[in-house]
Amino acid sequence: MQKRKNNNGIFYVVISLIAVIAVAGGVYAFTGNANRVIENVEVYNEAEQPTVSVNEGMLGANPGPIKTERQYFLAGYQSGGERYASSTTNSTETLLASEFDGNVTYIDYTANIDTTLTTMASTTMDFLGYEAGDERSYWFRSATTTDATTITFAAGTGVDIQFGDATGDDLVIDGLDVAKLTFIRKADDDVLLLMTKYTEGD
């Protein structure tokens, strides 16, 4: 009877050698990469690094437009917004909430005739918000070049206009004069409108 050769032993030896070679190659590659990383770190540490100052006004962060704590601006601040321009040839007009919406902070209004401007109703002032104490201010300029042409402010529904109690204060601005209009939401959802007038000085 002829005996068969048993090649299993040879097969396992070959597989074991291949595995040993693969592991050795991996270890060598890992060691080589580790050495290169160490060399790069050493080169980086020896190189002169640039000095970065945090006082150059280049860094900052803002979590969003809503702030829930009092803000402190130690170096002051600059505010601004967008300009809105409008005009009329009528003796009476009603201001629109859309004229005060968005990022508007400055309004040029040209009245080509003495005009009474009635504010929008307090219920349509979405630009202001509806929490008691919500406040928003605008600069309102009579852009007509005729000094004698006047704009008189009148209160819309739910609006309480107030002006300074100094002699001569009223709700009228002349051509090229400016008024600061500050809207404040009241607890009953109505609105206070505080008007401060400024007269052209030159």
The verdict on 137 and 93 lying in the same domain is: yes
Is residue 105 in a domain? yes
The verdict on 92 and 138 lying in the same domain is: yes
The verdict on 107 and 14 lying in the same domain is: no
The verdict on 113 and 24 lying in the same domain is: no
The verdict on 99 and 186 lying in the same domain is: yes
pLDDT at 153: 98
The verdict on 105 and 176 lying in the same domain is: yes
Is residue 59 in a domain? no
14-49: pLDDT as tens digits: 455 555 455 545 545 555 665 675 676 666 667 665
The verdict on 127 and 28 lying in the same domain is: no
Domain that holds residue 28: 7-46
112-121: pLDDT as tens digits: 999 999 999 9
Contact between 174 and 184 (Cβ < 8 Å): no
Q: How confident is the model at residue 72 (pLDDT cuts 50, 70, 90)?
A: very high
pLDDT at 21: 55
Residues in CB range of 97: below 8 A, 6 or more apart: 120, 124, 125, 126, 127
Is residue 22 in a domain? yes
What is the residue type of 63?
A: P
> Which two tokens mark 6?
């048993």
> Which two tokens mark 8?
């299993």
Instruction: Provide φ and ψ at 165, rounded to 5°.
Output: -100, 15
The verdict on 29 and 126 lying in the same domain is: no
Is residue 87 in a domain? yes
pLDDT at 168: 79
The verdict on 113 and 169 lying in the same domain is: yes
CA 96-156-123 angle, 5° bins: 70
The verdict on 130 and 193 lying in the same domain is: yes
pLDDT at 190: 98
Is residue 54 in a domain? no
pLDDT at 74: 94
154-198: pLDDT as tens digits: 999 999 999 998 887 899 999 999 999 999 999 999 999 999 999
How many domains does the structure of the chain reveal?
2
Is residue 52 in a domain? no
Give how far the C-alpha of residue 5 lies from the chain's centroid of Cα atoms, to the nearest Å.
85
pTM score of the predicted model: 0.69
82-122: pLDDT as tens digits: 999 999 999 999 999 999 999 999 999 999 999 999 999 99
The verdict on 100 and 24 lying in the same domain is: no
pLDDT at 34: 59
Strand order in the sheet with 150-154: 92-94, 115-118, 150-154, 172-174
Is residue 55 in a domain? no
Alpha-carbon distances of 78 from 83, 131, 179, rounded to whole Å: 16, 26, 20
Contact between 164 and 130 (Cβ < 8 Å): no
Of the two residues 16 and 81, the one the predictor is more confident about is 81
128-163: pLDDT as tens digits: 999 999 999 999 999 998 989 999 999 999 999 999
43-66: pLDDT as tens digits: 666 766 566 555 555 566 778 888
Compute the distance between CA of residue 183 and CA of residue 138 in angstroms, rounded to an integer: 9
